[in-house]
Structure 1
Amino acid sequence: MSLIIALPIIAISALLLSRVPEIAQVGLSALPLAIIIGITWGHISRRTATDKEMKFTKFCQQKLLRGGIILFGFSLSFQQILAVGWEAVILDAIVITTVFCVGAYLGIKVFKLDREVAILTSAGSAICGAAAVLATESALKARQQSVTIAVGTVVLFGTIAMFSYPFIFQLSSMSPEAFGIYIGSTVHEVAQAVAAGDTVAQQALASGDTTGITALENAVVVKLIRVMMLAPFIVILSAAMMRLATGDAEKGKITIPWFVFGFLAAAGINSVIAIPEVTLTGLQLASQLLLAIAMAALGTQTQWKTMRQAGVKPILLALILFILLIFGGYFLNIWLIGG
């Protein structure tokens, strides 16, 4: 089967699988599913892509990816910021800055990882998992294998974190409302925030706490605020990478990542215009489809040999960032938000 046909089929399959209740409960979104299916398809088919197919794959990884990120902006609105207060915004900003800087330093200076892997893994842990890795890849112009390694680490530890939150809630003195903010500010993926927030909400309601549903609401809103911060993050990172570049014409192109402004414009439109629910759902579905196609394209071009050569260092880096998010994020939430 041609890649031109296979990639949309893989993406649609990932979207459908992500809606299976048993899969949704473990927080696996369409993006990691698409890359897993893509990797599997690439190794099973064992065929060399034609020039036309390679051009299509590159188009998916670049143009469709950026289009998906722009449309993802329609999932957000600036009213969501007002709903949880500026303390949550400050909290998200501190979490993103700390986790990314610590991760980049440890990855590059201590573990001596490839710069791309260190930055992509740190961005995925700090902001919004696979979507952040993809957006950062667009700014870095990173290699496919680096992206796959980073996505793998954030999916692994994001899933572990998601299952950990309900146990932490039982041990903590936080209210469901405050714990929802903690989840949103520290979990990796949006889907994982939804799954963890819903579990905690059900625990609270089962114990007779009628405010339990706020755990889910706050987890989602605070997580989406973190996603919104992806835009300024990419702009700042692009400027920083430009300064590090020395006469590299390709690097010079990353100074202005225009798709980020499209992302912000979409969020702005959603904030000031009452878009019908059915239209919003369609835009969000289109975003997921485009991003899933981009991930599928990435997966089909990924080689296990290259991933194995990366060793355990990327996993160790992601583990440290996971611990920082869980424990550092907990005490930061207690300090800024309270119980």
Structure 2
Amino acid sequence: MTLISASNAAEPLNHAARAPAAAQRWPARGVHSILPGLLLTSLVAGTSFAIRMLPGMTTFSPLILSMVIGIAYHNIVGTAAWAKRGVTFGLRRLLRLAIILLGLQLTASQVIEIGGRGLGIIAASVLATFAFTIWTGKWLGVAPKLAQLIAAGTSICGASAVIATNTVTNADDEDVAYSVACVTVFGSVAMFSYPLLRGLVHLDPQSFGLWAGASIHEIAQVVAVAFQDGQKAGEFGTIAKLSRVMLLAPMVIAIGFMAARGTKRRTPEAGKPSALPPLPWFVLGFVAMVGINSLVAIPPDARAWIVAATTFLLSVALAAMGLETDIGKLASRGLRPALLGAFAFLFIAAFSLTLIKLTG
């Protein structure tokens, strides 16, 4: 769930515009100007992989560990001006490349294997959860952009969906970090609670896998849960989750159009061009990779390297996010967004389970 790599047309994100003046005066020297920041973000990502190898840490995603380490570094040591350009590059360009590569983890035949019933349940759960979260966010008084990020992360694929959606919402870094924290916490709750609920919900292995894939936030969390009910449940849950990831592309495009329309309506003076969000070309690259993966047989060894590279690039992007996140601003969001994340998690779990029961 992972540029210009996708697009030369993408506008700079808000965090780049908010960089300190010292960072903006940093002379443009091509690749040499981004290397220090890239080395820093790569070091943070590498540290997260090393920590994950420690006993008891395998349940934590390297993406989340990267963000946590990045936040700690930024708020204790401080991200130096010389690293800003590379950090911004990692968050913008490498993120888009990773999302494109995510397409190589899904094929059309896998989607077909889910069947019409399964795809219908997944699509309905995604759309209903997104709409419910946006509506509940308004009711709770959560900022619209923050609510959109939580909605995308809960309904699609966790942290990957949050940072992909932010390419068109352009929310504050703290909003993104808060959203990632929400989907991580409640995805972890699902990871530990779903296996305990197997006996209560009375689902066969295939249906249990479908429920996990249709409602749990991160791919790694789905795998951890579904395989506890056997090989069949694990495989079906993984495919269901990857099929759900496929909906990332149309959702990001749809949110981009929604943001563009909202920007046009808020333009204060007629005749002045509005700052529209960038067209997310990288999601088209994601779809193209799904097509290539469906037509070309990628050797298992090469596929393993692609999956590892995608995870590392996403970890670098989240390390960059952490290196620009201020804890003070994060705390100022309050508890309402966390409550929204809890409601969204409970909704997608109950809604998808209800559909599975009704159609089973």
TM-score (norm 2): 0.85
Distance in 2 separating the partners of 1:317 and 1:299? 22
* Larger displacement relative to structure 2 (243-252 or 68-77): 243-252
Which residue among 99, 124, 127 is the counterpart of 2:129? 99
1:12 aligns with 2:46: yes
* 2:192 corresponds to: 163
Q: What letter corresponds to residue 329 of structure 1 in structure 2?
A: S
User: CA–CA distance in 2 between the matches of 1:251 and 1:176?
Assistant: 49
RMSD between superposed Cα atoms in Å: 1.6
Change (3 A) 1:19 1:228: farther
Could you tell me which runs of 5 or more consecutive residues in structure 2 were left unpaired when the two chains were aligned.
1-35
Q: Secondary structure at the match of 1:332?
A: helix
Decide which moves more: 293-302 or 3-12.
Answer: 3-12
Paired residues of 2:154 and 2:345 also in contact (CA < 8 A): yes
Deviation at 1:283, TM superposition (A): 1.7
For residues 65 and 300 of structure 1, what CA distance do their matches in structure 2 show? Answer: 15
CA gap of 1:30–1:53, structure 2 versus 1, over 3 A, is same
SS in 1 for 2:157: coil
Asked if 1 retains the 8 angstrom alpha-carbon contact of 2:156 and 2:248, the reply is yes
- In structure 2, which of residues 159, 172, 180 is the aligned counterpart of residue 130 of structure 1? 159
Letter in 2 for 1:257: P
Unaligned 5+ segments in structure 1 are: 202-212
In the alignment, structure 1 residue 234 sits paired with structure 2 residue 252:
yes
| TM-score, length basis structure 1 | 0.90
Three-state SS of the structure 2 residue aligned to 1:127 is helix
For the structure 1 residues 8 and 199, does the alpha-carbon distance in structure 2 shift closer, same or farther, using more than 3 Å as the test? same
1:244 to 256, 262, 279: 262
Match of 1:71 in 2: 101
Matches within 5 A, 1:34-49: 34-46=66-78, 49=80
Q: Distance in 2 between matches of 1:194 and 1:124?
A: 17
| 1:320 Cα offset (Å) | 0.6
SS at match of 1:252: coil
CA shift in 2, pair 1:249/1:218, >3 Å: farther
Cα distance between partner residues in 2 of 1:179 and 1:22? 26
**Number of residue pairs matched by the alignment:** 319
The residue correspondences of 1:297-316 to structure 2 (distance < 5 A) are: 297-316=320-339
Q: Relative to structure 1, is the Cα distance of residues 20 and 44 closer, same or farther in structure 2, using a 3 angstrom cutoff?
A: same
Tell me, in whole angstroms, the C-alpha distance in 2 between the residues paired with 1:284 and 1:30: 13
User: Counterpart in 2 of 1:205?
Assistant: none
CA gap of 1:333–1:21, structure 2 versus 1, over 3 A, is farther
Is 1:181 the equivalent of 2:210?
yes
Report the equivalent of 1:60: 90
Trace 1:116-155 onto structure 2 (pairs within 5 A): 116-155=145-184
Q: Is the 8 A contact 1:241 1:251 kept in 2?
A: no
| TM-aligned CA deviation for residue 16 of structure 1 | 3.9
- Give the C-alpha shift of residue 101 in structure 1: 0.7
Query: In structure 2, do the counterparts of structure 1 residues 309 and 288 end up closer, same or farther at CA, with 3 Å as the change threshold?
Result: same
List aligned pairs for 1:162-311, cutoff 5 A: 162-201=191-230, 213-246=231-264, 247=267, 251-254=275-278, 256-311=279-334
Distance in 2 (alpha carbons) for counterparts of 1:88 and 1:29 = 27
Identity of aligned residues (%): 32
Structure 2 letter corresponding to 1:134: I
